Chains A and B, each alone.
Chain A
Amino acid sequence: MENYLQNKEVILSVKDLSVRFSLRGKSLHAIRGVSLDVYKGESLAIVGESGSGKSVLTKNFIGLLDKNGTIDKGEILFEGMDLAKFKTEREWAKIRGKKIAMVMQDPMTSLNPLKTIGWQISEALILNRGMNHAQAKAETLNILKDVGISEPERRYKQYPHEFSGGMRQRVVIAIAVACSPEILICDEPTTALDVTIQAQILSLIKDLCRKYGMTTIYITHDLGVVANVADRIAVMYAGDIVEVGTSEEVFFDPKHPYTWALMSSLPQLGEKGHELYSIKGTPPKLFGVIRGDAFAPRNPQALKIDYMVRPPYFEISPTHKARTWLLDPRAPKIDPPECLKRLKELENIESGDMDE
């Protein structure tokens, strides 16, 4: 994985981004100085608990930040423009849907129940690609076929309530890829779906990305999904990226105590009859100032300095960096939990018995 960065160009670059929300007179610091590069053609997964700011971060890329949120500082560079400076809907209209599109979590609420599926997909084509109605219809039927919906002619005229959850998510994906965007953001694309459907949707997204050469950003809290889709992983905690690396590096050689804790609490690593590792306490409140490492209060092995000074990024390899004082040469040596070694041994549940 050393030459992961070779021949890769940065398509989107976030530099020291900070976002605040004003909530009932108080200010909530949701994104606390995040820097992140997204490379062309890769699939990046952003992992974190709810409230860690993973959705807020990506909403900035398409200008969908809630009204009470503001970007205080930092920049988001995309095709020579700074998206953080965008103010008007007019400016966003050039980016949203055309260049960067998003698949939302819940297919039940992201479609308009009063319009047919066909109308909703061709709307995007007419608005963004300047097609006329006949062209848009032909193209819509193509896209419907692409996302694996059978009998597109009949389905074109149907309403969202006539579709099952998995089929609706396929339609949402169809709308997102209709304008062949450069970047596709998938915000928990399968959380609302069944496991069997989840597997199908994930492979659909992967196939489409390969076909259209899209870059994908997944937002999820399910490490199994991450293992399936991600080339690179960024772990978020309390509005900050605490560790970023290739999928291999983060799964098999994690460095940040939060990543350790997150992985150790996987039930797959638990042993029956023994207590499952669990992270004590709850994530910090983001009102007010957080001193030092945000994870320190929940980390039983926290160092003294973790409470005082915010750790910088330490580079482990060109692709792998983590924000923890443990990587400082002066830090005591603390080994990752034993059970993480078992991750490597996890096999496909079915593997022993698959003969057909």
Chain B
Amino acid sequence: MSNENVVIKTPLLSVRNMDVTFGKGKNAFKAVNDVSFDVYRGETFGLVGESGSGKTTIGRAIIRINKLSAGEVIYDGKRISGQIDHETDREVIKNIQLIFQDPMASLNERAKVDYIVSEGLTNIRHDLSHEEIEERVAKALLDVGLLPEFASRFPHEFSGGQRQRIGIARCLVMDPEFIIADEPISALDVSIRAQVLNLMSMLQQERGLTYLFIAHDLSVMRFICNRIAVIHKGVIVELAETEELFKHPLHPYTRVLLSAVPVPNPHVEQKKKVLVYDPSCHNYSANERPIWTEIAPGHFVRGSERELTAYREKLEKR
């Protein structure tokens, strides 16, 4: 597929200066701090970071499970954060869907598959008749490689991979444009992972879906994402096209994260030196402030003037 050259660069989703704060007063904890990025139509945008870095919170804030304390989210030219009218609200629910991490925990144990998959439709699409909904559920199940007769079964009758497919079917039935996949494969077995990844990229090609892919596993990211943003403690430290990021990581945290990814080759892996990120390595003086800059076309990094000069030199040397 020559899909990669055809991607037209129009932002489908823009996150502008997003802040998310939990708690109040002196207990306040800023989980997401001044995060901005664009996701272009038809691409897979990766968000990578350690646990507690706020990557899931960003995903949840986009679909308004968590409230923004500052900033805004713009979807297809319309603001979808904060107070929005009923009509936009429905649009958002229909167009943006979420795939959860753990298929064991995210499906209602007491509901049958047809209820789980159709719930979104029954809530939003009042114009559809009972038969039409049933038809769509059957189609969604077929699309993810399950049989329509599975609709009358309970989630516990399925294996992990099949459950994750049900989770994906639940998204697809709404016919969304944008899917936020929050660690969709980290709870799955190695052999099942490949099946789910293939399914996701097949659906993307067929329907022109846009993904926001949240994960901590960089080796999977490299395979599936067009662009990757690295997030540390609620702040995006680097954003670049996938290969650019892997070949020329600039920010010390990105390099640490990349060095920690295990390589399935004993020769390389046993010689590897593991780096540790120490925030004091930036050594910022009192009047220095890290700023978010586009250092090369499409390659953004956060650093102070002094660091940026060093980064630029490094990029020139390559």
Contacts and interface: CB of A to CB of B under 8 A. Distances in A.
Interface string A316-356: 00000000000000000000000000011011111111100
A49 B189 contact: yes
Interface in B217-264: 217-220, 222-224, 246-249, 255-264
Interface in B54-83: none
Given A195-B218, A344-B265, A353 B194 contact: no
A37 interface: no
B246 A346 contact: no
A258 to B, nearest CB: 9
A344 B223 CA distance: 18
B25 interface: no
A226 B264 CA distance: 7
B33 to A, nearest CB: 20
Contact of A347 (B51, B257, B263): B263
B8 interface: no
B10 interface: no
Q: Contact residue range for chain A?
A: 35 or more
A353 B161 CA distance: 37
B264 A348 contact: no
Given A224-B269, A227-B265, A268-B219, A196 B257 contact: yes
A350 B268 contact: no
A270 interface: yes
Interface in A247-302: 247-248, 251, 261-263, 265-268, 270, 272-273, 275-279, 282
Q: Contact residue range for chain B?
A: 35 or more
A262 B248 CA distance: 30
Contact of A228 (B194, B220, B270, B277): B270
Interface string B73-111: 000000000000000000000000000000000000000
B262 A225 contact: yes
A273 B205 CA distance: 10
B259 A350 contact: yes
A84 to B, nearest CB: 29
Contact of A198 (B4, B201, B224, B260): B260
Contacts of A275: 198, 201-202
Contacts of A72: none
A346 B266 CA distance: 10
Given A196-B257, A200-B276, A267-B223, A353 B265 contact: no
Nearest to A345: B265
A3 to B, nearest CB: 18
Nearest to A206: B270
A270 B264 CA distance: 13
A352 B219 CA distance: 17
A247 B28 CA distance: 49
Contacts of A222: 190, 262
B194 A278 contact: yes
Contacts of B219: 224, 266-268
A276 B249 contact: no
Interface string B265-280: 1111110101011000
Given A227-B270, A248-B266, A346-B268, A278 B277 contact: no
A344 B268 CA distance: 9
B122 interface: no
B50 interface: yes
B283 interface: no
Contacts of B309: none
A30 interface: no
28 contacts: A49-B191, A50-B160, A194-B51, A195-B217, A197-B50, A224-B261, A224-B263, A225-B262, A248-B266, A262-B190, A263-B264, A266-B219, A267-B193, A267-B224, A268-B223, A268-B263, A272-B223, A275-B202, A276-B197, A276-B223, A278-B195, A282-B161, A343-B264, A343-B265, A346-B264, A348-B268, A353-B247, A353-B248
Interface of A: 49-50, 165, 194-200, 203, 221-228, 230, 247-248, 251, 261-263, 265-268, 270, 272-273, 275-279, 282, 343-344, 346-354
Given A49-B190, A50-B160, 4 more contacts: A251-B264, A267-B194, A268-B222, A279-B194
